[in-house]
Amino acid sequence: MSRFRFTAVTADGTRIKDELDAMSEALARDELLSRNLEVESIKSARRSVLQIQLTKQRVKRSDIMNFSRQMAAFVAAGIPLTEGLHVIARSTTNKRWQEVLSDASEAIAQGAQFSDALARNANLFPPYYLGIVKAAELTGRLDVALVQLSDYLERDLETRSRINQALAYPMVVLGMAFVTVAVLAVWVLPKFAVFFKGLGAKLPLTTRLLIGAADFTKTFWYLYIVAAAGFVAVAMYFWKAPGGRRLRNRLTLRMPLIRDIVLYSVVERVTRILGAMSRSGVPLPDAMAAAIQGADNSVFEEGLLGAQARMLEGEGLAGPVSDTGLFPEAAVQMMRVGENTGTLDVQLENASNYYARELENKLKKLTTLFEPAVILVMGLVVGFVAVALVQAMYGIYAAPSVGGLK
């Protein structure tokens, strides 16, 4: 979520300046237009280090998943919402989550709807969550909707966990490779360099390169800190800044090995949100608005905003989504079949399950390729060091000044 500063004009001609939070500049502009504001300018509200404030304890998606499942059981059993919220609040150890649930319980006791009570802390919930809850209240299927939400959150957490597990081992091996090289460069090689120079023998090229790298590291060690800080700054720009995030999303959708993983992950997320909201009776344009925020990819956000505008004109789902050029043909075809047969929610669920399986297969293949690649790189580095040292030892042994000692 990013913060944007805007200047806009109200219907009565009043000019206002304020800030708001949104996933992207396009979504921020869309939010302002929905408030009947004419946008004059909008830009990222970057904060300096001195402006960054400490935040309250974070509420995890797993907390919201467990809450949804427990509330579904309480609603199905006929337990009042306020009592259910109190029970869940007492059982959690997250102080922030306790405050949110207590606040929601008080709001309901004062006559607020369940969805409105949760909306008092809307930033803690996924973008699609409150829309599904509100639609379920209108249809009298709150317990069913909460079960669906808990199932979706569980699948989303499992997908994220599989991605983290797939990358954990290669990252550990890569980290060990860097540590090994650092130890050799800082402690081992300098001692060998003193030993070789004392003998006065001509060293092979590989050994001279290795000793030169060790001397450079020892003399200009601060450059590595500067390089690391620069890398962190660039990574933060690509991760946080709207422009960097947009560039990162575009690049990942073009990288050969990463493209399918990113694509299937976003498609699975979007179709699952659309399916869950469609099943709960949420109108498609509203469901698409939640899916856009849940996509967490600026390329898809921009493409789906155009699709949403066409959906508001009555063009359906499959056609506008297909014209974005972002979704695989299989996903579009499932949407088209669902629209033609009146089973859109079922087909969207099928699409999300299909791409969840494809994503898991792609992750396994990437891990299979990545692990040996990292080990190979580590072996080449360590092997180069070993060969350089062995060549130097043989060269010294064969040198006349040393050979005369035999």
pLDDT of residue 66: 92
pLDDT at 328 over 90: yes
Q: How would you class 77 by CB atoms within 10 Å of its CB: exposed for 0-12, middle for 13-18, buried for 19 or more?
A: exposed
Q: Within a domain: residue 340?
A: yes
Do residue 193 and residue 337 come from a single domain? yes
Task: Provide mean pLDDT across the span 200-223.
Answer: 77
* Distances 404 to 194, 195, 198, 232, 401 between C-alpha atoms, Å: 21, 18, 16, 54, 6
Within a domain: residue 44? yes
> What is the percentage of the chain residues whose pLDDT exceeds 70?
87
Considering only residues 68 and 290, tell me which one the structure prediction assigns the higher pLDDT. Answer: 68
24 and 86, same domain (yes or no): no
**Structure token digits, residue 187:** 């402690």
Boundary residue ending a domain (152, 182, 215): 152
Residues 249 and 387 in one domain: yes
Q: State residue 27's pLDDT score.
A: 65
Strand partners, 42: 6
Q: What pLDDT is attached to residue 400?
A: 56
> What pLDDT does residue 50 have?
39
> Is the same domain home to 111 and 201?
no
pLDDT at 219 over 60: yes
Note the pLDDT tens digit of each residue in 349-376.
899 889 988 988 887 887 777 777 777 8
pLDDT at 142 over 80: yes
User: Residues 145, 170: one domain?
Assistant: no
Residue 83 has a pLDDT of: 92
Residue 41, both tokens: 């300018």
Task: Find the domain containing 143 and state its range.
Answer: 61-152
What are the phi and psi torsion angles at 110 (to 5°)? -90, 5
pLDDT of residue 148: 80
Tell me what pLDDT residue 49 has: 39
Name the domain count of the chain: 3
Mean per-residue pLDDT, 102-125: 88
CATH number reported for the structural domain that contains residue 22 in this entry: 3.10.20
Candidate ranges 34-48, 124-138, 166-180; pick with highest mean pLDDT: 124-138
Say yes or no to pLDDT of 46 above 70: no
Structural domain contains residue 258: yes
Question: Considering the domain boundaries, does residue 183 fall inside one?
Answer: yes
CATH number of the domain residue 95 falls in: 1.20.81.30
- The predicted structure's pLDDT at residue 209: 81
Q: What is the pLDDT of residue 362?
A: 85
**Residue 18: which of 26, 28, 53 has the closest Cα?**
28
Residues 276 and 342 in one domain: yes
The number of residues in the chain equals 406
Q: What is the mean pLDDT of the chain?
A: 80
Residue 304 located in a structural domain: yes
Q: Is residue 245 in some structural domain?
A: yes
**Between 147 and 218, residue with greater pLDDT:** 147
The pLDDT assigned to 340 comes to 92
| Dist CA 307 CA 287 (whole Å) | 12
**What proportion of the chain, given as a percentage, has pLDDT over 90?**
18
C-alpha distances out from residue 332 to 140, 317, 348, Å: 31, 9, 10
The 10s digit of each residue's pLDDT in 377-396 is 777 877 887 787 777 777 66
For residue 56, tell me if it sits in a domain: no
Task: Please say which residue of 122, 152, 182 terminates a domain.
Answer: 152
400/320 same-domain check: yes
Task: Tell me the backbone φ, ψ of residue 83, rounded to 5 degrees.
Answer: -65, -40
DSSP 187: I
Domain co-membership, 146 together with 161: no
More confident residue, 18 or 82: 82
Q: Which of 205, 204, 201 is nearest to 402 (CA)?
A: 201
State yes or no: pLDDT of 165 exceeds 80. no
pLDDT at 61: 86
CA 340 to chain centre: 34
In this structure, the answer to whether residues 14 and 66 fall within a common structural domain is no
Q: Does one domain contain both 40 and 96?
A: no
pLDDT exceeds 50 at position 52: no
Residues 299 and 157 in one domain: yes
Last residue of a domain, one of 11, 27, 51: 51
Same domain, 299 and 224: yes
Evaluate whether 103 touches 120 at the Cβ level (below 8 Å): yes
Choose among 293, 290, 339, 291: nearest CA to 314: 339
Integer Cα distance of 291 and 288 in angstroms: 5
pLDDT of residue 65: 92
Least confident of 48-62, 96-110, 164-178: 48-62
